[in-house]
Structures are given as C-alpha cells and as structure tokens.
Structure 1
C-alpha cells in the first residue's frame, strides 16, 4: 500500500466552515468521502489533535494528513493484452476490443479489463474500481479513459458528471432514418426485466439521459448513425435508439429481430444473420487532461465485423438504389 503525507495550513477564509468541507477544497485530489473517513479514523489531525468532520474552523490551523491508500479492489491480475492508445502517470486511454468485460460481476469473475489493468500496474488496486471511471458494454468496442492516480480519478469523475468528456459512437440501426435529432428521455431500471434498462419518468426512478444523433448513411432497411452522449447511463444509446423504433442491429436485449430488405443478396443475409452483438463502436474520445490541461483527442478504427456489415449494406444499396 502507498502512504500519502501532506501538511498544510487552513486558509483564513475558511473560518466558520466545517473541517470536512474545507479539507475537500484543500486536497481536491481525494474524494470527500475518503477524506471524511480519514478524519474519523484520526489520520487527519488539526493542530495535532483528532477532531470531528463537523468541527468548525477558525482559520490558520495546521493540518497533518498521513494515511495509506487501501486496496480498493480484490480482483486478481491477469496477463491480458491491452491496446493502450495513450498513457502517462495519471491516466491512460484504452481501445477495448469486442467481447472484453470491463469489470468483474456475476458470471464474469475473471478475464476482464480490470484484471488486465491490475497486471499492467499493481497500483491500480488502490483506486476505486481500479481506475475505471466509465464503462463500455462487453460487446461494444472502442475508447475508454482509465485513471492511474487519485487526483486524476477524482477529476475525471467530476468531468464526466459535468459532461466535459466528448464521447462519440457509431451505431448501425434497423430502419431507414430520415434525419438526426436529440433524445432527451430519462433512463432507469426496467420494471420487469432486471437485465434491461428502459425509458422511465424521473418520478419513477429514471435519471436524466440525453443522446444527440445524426444519420451518416441510409440503406434500404438500415441506417448508420453517429451518436454523441451528453450523459452516460447504462445502455443509453441502445435504449434511446430502441425508444425511437430503431434498435441496433444484433442487439439481443433491445432489438426486435432480423430485418431483411426485399431481394437481399446472400452476402447481406449472411452478414445480418451473423452479426451477434449490438452494432455499436465508441469511435472518438476528446477531453482536456485533468491535471495538465492538454487537449487530448483519439479515434478508434471501426471493428472488422462492423466494417464488413456496413460494406454488405452498401453493396446491397448499390444494387437497389434508394429513391429520395
């Protein structure tokens, strides 16, 4: 475990404020919940004495913090290859392949991205969720940010909450979409199926969810759509596209089966029938580095199976042009 030590003086402007509130401002690299726990455990002293988190400050007191970063995860390291697009002391950007589960859960106790991260760096075990600040579904490929330091983790979580991370996806959906738009519909746990999410009123447990989309290509019975997330709810794009009546190709959870255009070639039939995952790819990621302020931007090439699917749809459209 890593031991952290800090000494500082309480700003005079903090007079009359609670200790835990001011401490969170003095050490923004740590979450408030972590700092509060350290105060209660006596790992943060005020003028050499243990005080309660609610203690009111007078300003100018001496703060001494000495604590160990406890192990936050209990998964085992595994030698799983990672496609790392960027890495420094504070964060890395991963290009996740199709089929890789992000975090261990029921039925997936090993072989996950978290196991791979722990093998890459044992220090990831000292970060909440091993540094994973947002997720992709198992069968969604593409770009993810992973924190490597407490400071970056705290900042990235806040950036995601403020919608300061640009995340762009490509989806292949059922149906010919005419124009783009925005879906502003809250999402919550499905009422009857615990594996699913659904559009739910806020009063009924739904949380704000906003997806902006535009049509890139239209085919006879399918469309390629660009989706930009303003929020990041579980299965957000899959739920919102299904809500519009255009579920993703291959989506076993939210889809409504195979859709073949009249006179489809065997190539297209095989491509559609053989696509067994949701046709979704996290293709672009852009954000300001939380500690240096540097603008970072990454693009991920389209997965081979999605490339082949779109090629088959294009070939079909060439044979059967769409009338505008």
Structure 2
C-alpha cells in the first residue's frame, strides 16, 4: 500500500518539474472560491514601465496573457479601481484587482479512470501515477490522461488551468505528483516551486558501475534535430541533479536522485550524458545492452523492461492552507521491484 505521512521536520529546499516557471507572490492576497475569484496584488517599483498585461501575466502566471488582456478590456481586472487598456504602462505602485467568475479552462472531457490517491483534502490531491498514464492531453493523447481522470474525480478542477496540475512526470515514469483543487492552492504550490521548497526524490536503475554519488550541473534545452529529445547544450536552462548510489551490481547501479531544478527529461538526459543511461529508456538509449554471459532470466528481464527504470518515490511540500510540512512516499511498482530482484540474484556485485 502506498504510504503517506506528514511531519514537522524541515524539508530540504529543492525544485520540481514545472509545467511553467512561476513568479514569487509574497504580496498576493485572495478571498477566492473555486468559482468566484477575487484577487488583489500590490505592485512595487520592479514593475515600473512594463505594460500592465505583461505585469498581470507575471503576477498571475496560471492565466494566459490573452485571457488577462480580455479581463482588462471587460473591466474584470482593474488598476487602482479603474479600467485601463492592456498597453497601460505601470508606475510601479498600483493595486491590481481581479474580480471574475471562472469558466471552463480546459476542453478535455471527464473520464472514469481509477486513481491511486495517496492523500486528499479540500486543497490538494497527491497521486501515485502508474506507468503508461499521460499526465496532460497533447498530440496523440487526447483521452485516458490524468487530466481526464481528475475532471471526473473532482469536476470543479475544470475551472483551473491544467485542471490544477502544477508539475508532471513522464508517461512511462511512475510515482508521486501533487494537484491543486483550488486556485489558492495552485498559487501556493507555484510559489513553493519558485522558492525551490518542494522536495522530490527519484529511484532509478542505470547502466554501468557508478562508484559514488555526486552532482550533475549541465544546461538542458530541446534537441535541435530530434524534437522528441532534450539535450545538454549551451544556452539551455539551468539543470542540477544530485544523486547517491544506493546499490551496486556487476553491470548496473541503483541510484536515488534529488532534483534541484525540474527540466523536461532531466534525470534521463543527465545520466545519459555521463554515460549511464537508464535501463529501458528507448529515447536516450539506442538499444538494450545485455552483459556478456548474462543468464536467460537477466537477458529476458532487460529486454522485457519496456520503460525507463525511473520512479518518483518521495514528495515533500508545505500544505497551502495549514502550513504543515508534509512528506509522502510511494513504493516501487511491481515491474521496478522485479527488475531489482533479478539484478540482485543474477548480476550480483563481485
């Protein structure tokens, strides 16, 4: 059974995989509900000279700039209590007021898909995502996603951008992610992301013998030719992964990695870059590598492991309403456990 626990211990400051970079919002106040939204934000001189639609998009990143421009034009978004045009230039001391009734933010449809819910209250849902589930609808994946499941489980999530998602994990990565159930929770989690105060630990199994732990600090951006891939390239976004060796085999290593940043495919790209790609990763490993002299069981297990050996095992955050430090854990799925068991018996270290 998936374990969840809360604690009052200090949680190390890390980042996790953001859909969008979030701005800090220390002076954000709200008395919103999930349907009627009433928000205020006091600007400071860091916004001086910027267009007000640009400012609003920075202040409230969960709404598109076009939606905020629409609300400015319709009088739902006021500056010092007055309607202004989107091109209005900020003086750096205005009070923004947003008062609007939320409408559906997604065209995705609810689907009755079972969810492994680790924890849920009025503000957040922590989910243990299975292998094979896409988190957000996209090209070729319009149904059967976590968003479709969330819309069925909690219909009011339709009023939130991305149905309350604040981060995602890859389709073939298993493990924990948190979802907001209201805009206040979404803002709070975005703030924690910006401050790197969300703690995420991944378990993985990589090719090769890794002797000791370390840190991989290499920038990541979209591959210039193969658009499915990410790559280590100059000009990419900062990407930092800390890791510890947990178990050594003859030809493989089990590792625990902690994300300081959260870039797309970060762990997979970083370990491939240092020559230790993940077992089962068909994107960053060009073939299955079976060690010479491997037993039939080991060879079959490696060839039959059809997804990257990567599991989001621990998630730590501060509850958006109570301020409580919370830590959640999810055990390895069956395929990951079987892989490690086979390596322990068939590929024992010398």
TM exceeding 0.5: yes
What TM-score do the two structures reach when normalised by structure 1? 0.85
Q: CA deviation at 1:73?
A: 0.8
Residue 4 of structure 1, CA deviation: 2.9
Match for residue 71 of structure 2? 38
Q: 1:31 to 1:115 in 2, by over 3 A?
A: closer
SS of structure 1 residue aligned to 2:99: strand
- Which residue of 2 is the match for residue 259 of structure 1? 289
Once the 2 structures are TM-superposed, how far is the Cα of residue 68 of structure 1 from its aligned partner? 1.4
Aligned partner (choices 308, 315, 318) of residue 278 of structure 1:
308
Q: Secondary structure at the match of 1:100?
A: coil
Which deviates the most, 247-256 or 29-38? 29-38
Structure 2: gaps spanning 5 or more residues:
1-33
Where does residue 66 of structure 1 map in the other structure? 99
Task: Tell me, yes or no, if structure 1 residue 316 matches structure 2 residue 346.
Answer: yes
Q: Does the 8 Å contact 1:286/1:298 carry over to 2?
A: yes
SS in 2 for 1:125: helix
Q: Which has the higher contact order (CA 8 A, sep 6+)?
A: 2
Tell me if the contact between 2:63 and 2:161 (Cα under 8 Å) persists in the aligned partners: no
Q: Check if 1:75 corresponds to 2:105.
A: no
Aligned length: 309
Give 3-state SS (helix, strand or coil) of 1:240's partner: helix
For residue 179 of structure 1, what is the aligned residue in structure 2? 212
After alignment, is 235-244 or 42-51 more displaced? 42-51
Taking the aligned partners of 2:97 and 2:344, their CA distance within structure 1 comes to 65
Q: CA deviation at 1:317?
A: 3.7
CA shift digits 1:191-237 (9 cap, x unpaired): 210110010111xxx11110011111111111101110011101000
Change in Cα spacing, 1:242 to 1:42, as seen in structure 2 (3 Å) is same
- Cα distance per residue 1:152-199 (max 9 Å; x no partner): 112212322322111100011111111111010000001210110010
State whether residues 268 and 277 of structure 2, in contact with CA within 8 Å, keep that contact through their aligned partners in structure 1: yes
Higher Rg: 1
- Unpaired stretches in structure 1, ≥5 consecutive residues: none
Task: Give the superposition deviation at 1:110.
Answer: 0.4
The equivalent position to 1:219 in structure 2, one of 249, 257, 281, is: 249
Check 1:118–1:244 CA distance in 2 against 1; reply closer, same or farther (3 A cut): same
SS in 2 for 1:157: helix
